[in-house]
Amino acid sequence: MSYQGRQVIVTGGTGALGAAVVGGLIEAGATCYVPWRHEAEVQRFAYSQHDQVKLFDNVDLTDESAVDRLFGEVPALWASIHVAGGFAMGPVAKTGKADLMHLLDMNFVSCFLCCSHAVNAIGRSGQGGRIVNVAARHALEWRGGAGLVAYTASKAAVAALTVALSEEVVKEGILVNAVAPSIMDTPANRAAMPNADYKAWPKVEEVAATILFLASPENKVTRGAVVPVYGRS
C-alpha cells in the first residue's frame, strides 16, 4: 500500500495501537498529524521527532472548537483514523451519569466530532478519502458487555455511527469503516491480566494492518464495515 504524498490524521496516535498505525503510515509514505493531551504521551511516543509526523498539543477531542482547529491545520486531508478512546468497567447499579457521560465523551463524542470535521476537510480536497473508526468486540457482541455496559454502549454507538455515515458520504467518494478489536496484546493489558493467554490476543501491528488497508487508496469498495479483529481470542 502506498500513502505517498497523503495527509492523514491519527487521533490516539501516541498510544499502543495508534503508534503502530502511525509507524505503518510513515513506512508507506504518509504525513501524519497526531493530537495529544498529556506530556507523558509524547515522551513515550517513538515517532515524536520524525519528519513525517506533526504533533498538536493539548487537543481535547470532545471540544468542537479544538477539533475544528486541528482539522483546519491539515492541507488536502486524505484519511482520518480515530483510535482515541477510553475504557472503564463497572456494573450499571454503580455507574452514575457522570461515569456514563465520561465514556460517551471519550469514545462516541470524540469520534463523532472528528468524523464530522473529517467529512468537511476531505470534501474540500474534492478527491475523496477515507475514515476509519475504532469500535470494540463488545460493540458487536453485546452480551459480552455484562459488567461494562456503559463502555459497551459507547462503542456500539461508534459502530452505528460508522455504518450510517458510510451511507451518507459514499457519493462524495469517502469510504467509512471501523475495526472492532478484542483485547489486544499491549503492556498495559498484560499487566492487568497476568494469567491470560497473550498468544491468542491480536497484536497491535496486526490490527494496524487492517486499519491501514481500510484507510488506503487500495481500498476501493469496502465501506460500512465494522471488521472484527479478534486474533485467536
Residuewise pLDDT in 10s, the chain (233 residues): 899 999 999 999 999 999 999 999 999 999 999 999 989 889 999 999 999 999 999 999 999 999 999 999 999 999 999 999 999 999 999 999 999 999 999 999 999 999 999 999 999 999 999 999 999 999 999 999 999 999 999 999 999 999 999 999 999 999 999 999 999 999 999 999 999 999 999 999 999 999 999 999 999 999 999 999 999 88
Q: Where are the alpha helices (DSSP H) in the chain?
A: 16-27, 39-44, 64-72, 97-103, 110-125, 137-140, 149-169, 187-192, 204-214
State the pLDDT at residue 233: 86
Distance CA 98, CA 119 (A): 30
| Order of all β-strands in the sheet with 77-82 | 53-57, 31-36, 7-11, 77-82, 129-134, 174-181, 226-229
Domain coordinates of the chain in residue numbers? 7-229
Q: How far apart are CA 176 and CA 144, in angstroms?
A: 25
Query: Which residues, in sequence order, are bridge partners of residue 7?
Result: 31, 77
- Residue 188 exposed, middle or buried by CB count within 10 Å (0-12, 13-18, 19+): exposed
Looking at 3.40.50.2300, 3.30.200.20, 3.40.1310.30, 3.40.50.720, the CATH number of the domain 7-229 comes to 3.40.50.720
Q: For residue 165, count other CB atoms closer than 10 A to its CB.
A: 23
The Cα–Cα gap between 176 and 168 comes to 10
Alpha helix segments (H runs only) across 170-227: 187-192, 204-214
Q: Tell me 47's DSSP state.
A: T
Residue with cell 457519493: 171
